[in-house]
């Protein structure tokens, strides 16, 4: 096997408590007029005002757009765009959860290239660099501060849509764990579970045949030596800190580790991609109006079971990164222990067990399966090839909470 790796990264990535104070210094290098994209919760906080004051002291004029809505409906992006264009912004600063960061990314795109968000849905549709972006996450988290994608709720589309382009990777990401201390347990759980799912899916995606233009064919190009490194870094940090952060939001060591892991997971999946757990979440989220992180986390143990014969070695390595005691176990037992540990961790932080618990009705299952298959960029990344019939098996099992059925199915496939 050839040693192959790709990273697509920000110009600057700064991590550490208190590092948000470094933001104005970066902004001063990039322009004079900053559109600051956030939401109403954050704009009311003293911390936020200190950040904006810091920009002013650095000689930067600011326009604050604080109407970002969670899960990012298209309408609020259009309003951010209006705010930025009437102001004449020459840079965009996003501060908040993934929704605010993605809003900032799309605003920077539309301020630069015009048109509508829908012109850029899919991969590689952004024609060139966008206004410089600085992103500061307040959840740990989506990893959006380092990824090449923004995810939008478009009322004309049944499920959420993505704009994926290396041009959307921000100029400077500043990850200050202090900004996450205010996350309540439920938000810590769903955003942290999303991050662990990013790392697990990135580590188990397909490894593509090398070709001269592989990196130009796919934004999310599959598992490779560099994405693996960040995925394992993410898995060890998140598995050690997620429950601790959920139990005690003031456990500062755990908060730091969790955010460190979430950003590492972004670096991993931003190049390798995610797969079936994310594909199924899109329709489930749209039908049940449940958080992205809850949906992907519900799916993750089922997807691991479904994929196990295509990534047993990787599942064992995930278990080792989680610190499980796997000595003397066969590869199969190691994979079993890993899937059980992920399911247990998610149960311990209050993630529901099935998509039925999220609110999916039995008569919606065929629609879930059909729409999940429509997320081509995710489906093509799954290590086990997916077709409508196998997707239906996966969705059915995640509805009934039947991981054993998937195991049996997976074994059958291996034998045949
Ligand atoms: N671009 C990417 O790479 C990427 C990856 C995964 C998910 N996403 C998208 O990101 C969004 C989810 O982002 P998220 O999970 O960060 O949540 P979010 O941004 O949707 O925020 C959810 C809620 O949490 C609040 N919140 C945020 N930070 C807080 C804090 N520190 N303290 C208290 N409350 C806080 C927000 O005000 C909001 O009400 C979804 O739209 C999802 O599709 C994007
Ligand atoms: Fe995600």
Tell me: do 286 and 167 sit in the same domain: no
Q: How far is the CA of 98 from the centre of ligand 1 (A)?
A: 4
Tell me: do 79 and 134 sit in the same domain: yes
Tell me: do 24 and 161 sit in the same domain: yes
pLDDT band at 412 (very low <50, low <70, confident <90, very high): low
141 lines ligand 1 (CB under 6 A): yes
Whole-angstrom Cα distance, residue 238 to residue 242? 6
pLDDT band at 159 (very low <50, low <70, confident <90, very high): confident
Tell me: do 165 and 294 sit in the same domain: no
Q: Do residues 31 and 60 make contact, with C-beta atoms less than 8 angstroms apart? A: yes
Domain boundary among 159, 180, 201: 180
205 lines ligand 1 (CB under 6 A): no
Here the CATH number for the domain that contains residue 155 is 3.40.50.1970
- What is the strand order of the sheet 12-15 is part of? 12-15, 172-175, 133-137, 91-96, 33-37, 61-65
Domain boundary among 161, 180, 199: 180
pLDDT in tens, 88-113: 999 999 999 999 999 999 999 999 99
For range 152-165, the mean pLDDT: 90
Q: Best substitution site from 43, 139, 195 to test ligand 1's pocket, by max atoms within 8 Å of Cβ? A: 139
pLDDT in tens, 265-319: 999 999 999 999 999 999 999 999 999 999 999 999 999 999 999 999 999 999 9
Alpha helices by DSSP H, listed for 250-379, are: 252-272, 276-288, 292-307, 312-321, 331-348, 355-358, 365-373, 376-379
38 lines ligand 1 (CB under 6 A): no
Return the residue whose CA atom lies nearest to atom 30 of ligand 1. 183
Averaged pLDDT score across all residues of the chain? 95
Q: How far is the CA of 141 from the centre of ligand 2 (A)?
A: 8
Ligand nearest to the CA of 102: 1
pLDDT in tens, 345-367: 999 999 999 999 999 999 999 99
176 lines ligand 1 (CB under 6 A): no
43 lines ligand 1 (CB under 6 A): no
Domain boundary among 147, 180, 213: 180
Tell me: do 308 and 165 sit in the same domain: no
373 lines ligand 1 (CB under 6 A): no
Tell me: do 380 and 302 sit in the same domain: yes
């Amino acid at each position: 096997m050839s040693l192959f790796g790709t990273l697509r990264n920000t110009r600057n990535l700064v991590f550490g408590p208190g590092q948000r104070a470094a933001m104005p210094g970066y902004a001063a290098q990039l322009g004079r007029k900053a559109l600051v994209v956030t939401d109403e919760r954050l704009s009311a906080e003293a911390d936020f005002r200190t950040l904006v004051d810091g920009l002013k002291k650095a000689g930067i004029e600011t326009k604050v757009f604080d109407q970002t809505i969670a899960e990012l409906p298209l309408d609020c992006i259009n309003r951010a765009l209006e705010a930025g264009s009437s102001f004449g912004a020459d840079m965009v600063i996003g501060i908040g959860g993934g929704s605010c960061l993605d809003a900032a990314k799309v605003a920077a795109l539309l301020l630069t290239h015009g048109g509508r968000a829908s012109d850029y849905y899919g991969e590689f549709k952004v024609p060139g660099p966008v206004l410089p972006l600085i992103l500061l996450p307040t959840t740990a988290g989506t990893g959006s501060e380092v990824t090449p994608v923004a995810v939008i709720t478009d009322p004309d589309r049944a499920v959420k849509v993505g704009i994926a382009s290396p041009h959307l990777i921000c100029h400077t990401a500043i990850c200050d764990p202090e900004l996450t201390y205010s996350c309540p347990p439920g938000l810590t759980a769903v955003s942290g579970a999303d991050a662990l799912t990013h790392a697990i899916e990135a580590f188990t995606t397909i490894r593509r045949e090398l070709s001269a233009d592989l990196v130009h064919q796919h934004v999310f190009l599959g598992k490779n030596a560099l994405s693996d490194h960040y995925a394992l870094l993410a898995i060890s940090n998140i598995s050690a800190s997620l429950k601790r952060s959920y139990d005690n939001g003031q456990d500062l060591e755990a908060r730091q580790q969790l955010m460190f892991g979430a950003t590492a997971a972004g670096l991993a999946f931003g190049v390798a991609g995610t797969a079936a757990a994310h594909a199924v979440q899109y329709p489930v989220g749209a039908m049940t109006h449940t958080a992205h992180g809850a949906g992907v986390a519900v799916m993750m143990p089922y997807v691991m079971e479904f994929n196990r014969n295509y990534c047993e070695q990787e599942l064992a390595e995930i278990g080792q990164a989680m610190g499980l005691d796997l000595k003397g176990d066969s590869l199969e037992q190691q994979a079993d222990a890993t899937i059980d540990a992920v399911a247990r961790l998610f149960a311990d932080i209050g993630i529901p067990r099935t998509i039925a618990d999220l609110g999916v009705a039995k008569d919606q299952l065929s629609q879930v399966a059909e729409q999940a298959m429509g997320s081509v960029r995710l489906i093509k990344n799954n290590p086990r090839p997916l077709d409508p019939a196998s997707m239906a098996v996966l969705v059915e099992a995640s509805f009934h909470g039947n991981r054993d059925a998937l195991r049996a199915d997976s074994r059958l496939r291996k034998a045949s």
